[in-house]
């Protein structure tokens, strides 16, 4: 008795071939996706399925809490391959509300080895704590999911891969999206970076949508990077 998944696979391959006899032959020759997806490993956020894309249409990298770390050779190699060889035109960093990794980072819950990985999300929380701490707990988590995406979009944009691509004049844009588990919908966070010059500007504006506590008129020294103090503005 074959495993259920192998049975599913045979059915799927047969249906695909029946609908389009050349499907696998074409794909076997080469992949030429226009999109790259950097998302959470969460089983509820499958890139192809929720965007209605077939095999061959989106190049995917997923990890816990969709984090892009400057020294993560796994992520960077994948991004480099996507940009330099596949010549993808759009990279989407996609977080999701209800992310257990973000929740653990928000609440300081110990989950195991992943604590060290989630430290990067915790750092995002610390950097923007004055925009987070005054919100109700439920809203803090949703907001940190969004902030984490924005920070990771910045990390992709600041990688040597994207900087070099833009210096060559290659057209490739990095976008930030969040997926809603409750409604199945993707939301565009409107933080698209498509050349070196846009990075600072997009970053500077991105966090202003999350107001700091009313009595805090000044900037927060921990909130460095490209975020500019917006007190009084
Ligand atoms: Co998640």
Cβ atoms of 152 and 66 within 8 Å: the answer is yes
Q: According to the model, what pLDDT value does residue 148 have?
A: 98
Q: Is 27 domain-assigned? A: no
The answer to whether 196 touches 167, Cβ cutoff 8 Å, is yes
Q: Is residue 12 part of a domain?
A: no
Q: Is residue 142 part of a domain?
A: yes
In a domain, 113, yes or no: yes
Q: Is 105's pLDDT higher than 80?
A: yes
Task: Answer whether residue 11 is part of any domain.
Answer: no
Alpha helices in 95-211 (DSSP H): 100-107, 114-127, 129-132, 137-158, 160-168, 196-206
Question: For the domain that residue 56 is a member of, what is the CATH number?
Answer: 3.40.1050.10
Q: Is pLDDT at 230 greater than 80 in this prediction? A: no
C-alpha 27/C-alpha 56 separation (Å) is 7
Among this protein's residues, is 99 annotated catalytic? yes
Of 61, 96, 120, 127, catalytic = 96
Residue 198 lies in a domain: yes
Which residue would you say has higher pLDDT here, 232 or 26? 26
Q: Rounded to 5 degrees, what are φ and ψ at 147?
A: -60, -40
Tell me the CA–centroid distance for residue 195 and ligand 1, in Å: 28
What percent helix, strand, coil does the chain show, rounded to 5? Answer: 50, 15, 40
How far, in Å, from the CA of 204 to the mean position of ligand 1? 26
Judge whether 81 lies within some domain: yes
Which listed residue (10, 26, 34, 44) is catalytic?
Answer: 44
Please indicate whether residue 145 is annotated as part of the active site. no
Percentage of residues in the chain having pLDDT higher than 70: 91
CA 90 to each of CA 14, 34, 36, 59, 151: distance values in angstroms, whole numbers, following the listed order? 31, 7, 6, 10, 17
Q: Is there a catalytic annotation at residue 96?
A: yes
Residue whose pair of structure tokens reads 């409750």 in the numeric block: 182
Please answer whether residues 16 and 71 qualify as being in contact, where contact means their C-beta atoms are separated by less than 8 angstroms. Answer: no
CA distance linking residue 154 with residue 174, whole number of Å = 9
Distance 39 CA to ligand 1 centre (A): 8
In angstroms, what is the span from residue 215 Cα to ligand 1's centroid? 33
Q: What are phi and psi of 205, to 5 degrees?
A: -90, -25
Percentage of the chain beyond pLDDT 90 is 84
The count of domains in the chain is 1
CA 132 / ligand 1 centre spacing (Å): 19
Q: Evaluate whether residue 206 is within a structural domain.
A: yes
Catalytic option among 61, 72, 99, 127:
99
| pLDDT score of 233 | 34
What is the number of other CB atoms lying within 10 angstroms of the CB of residue 103? 19
Is pLDDT at 142 greater than 50 in this prediction? yes
**Residue 225: its pLDDT value, please?**
60
Exactly one of 40, 120, 125, 131 is catalytic; which is it? 40
Which residues form the domain of 144? 33-224
44 catalytic, yes or no? yes
Q: How far is the CA of 101 from the centre of ligand 1 (A)?
A: 6
Lowest mean per-residue pLDDT among 12-21, 134-143, 214-223: 214-223
Hey, is 90 helix, strand or coil? strand
Mean pLDDT for the stretch of residues 53-57: 94
């Amino acid at each position: 008795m074959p495993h259920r998944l192998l049975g599913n696979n045979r059915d799927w391959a047969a249906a695909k071939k029946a609908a389009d006899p050349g499907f696998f032959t074409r794909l076997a020759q080469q992949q030429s996706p226009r999109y790259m997806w950097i998302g959470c490993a969460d089983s509820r956020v499958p890139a192809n399925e929720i965007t209605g894309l077939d095999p061959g249409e989106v190049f995917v990298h997923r990890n816990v809490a969709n984090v892009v770390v400057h020294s993560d050779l796994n992520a960077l190699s994948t991004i480099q391959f996507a940009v330099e060889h596949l010549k993808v035109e759009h990279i989407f960093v996609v977080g999701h509300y209800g992310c257990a990794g973000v929740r653990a980072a928000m609440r300081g819950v110990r989950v195991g080895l992943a604590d060290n990985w989630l430290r990067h999300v915790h750092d995002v929380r610390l950097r923007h704590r004055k925009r987070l701490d005054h919100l109700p707990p439920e809203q803090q988590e949703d907001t940190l999911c969004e902030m984490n995406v924005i920070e990771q979009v910045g990390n992709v944009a600041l990688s040597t891969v994207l900087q070099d691509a833009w210096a060559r004049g290659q057209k490739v844009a990095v976008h930030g999206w969040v997926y809603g588990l409750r409604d199945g919908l993707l939301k565009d966070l409107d933080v698209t970076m498509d050349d070196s010059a846009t990075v600072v500007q997009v970053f500077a504006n991105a966090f202003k949508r999350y107001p700091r506590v009313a009595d805090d008129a000044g900037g927060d020294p921990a909130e460095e990077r490209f975020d500019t103090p917006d007190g009084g503005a």
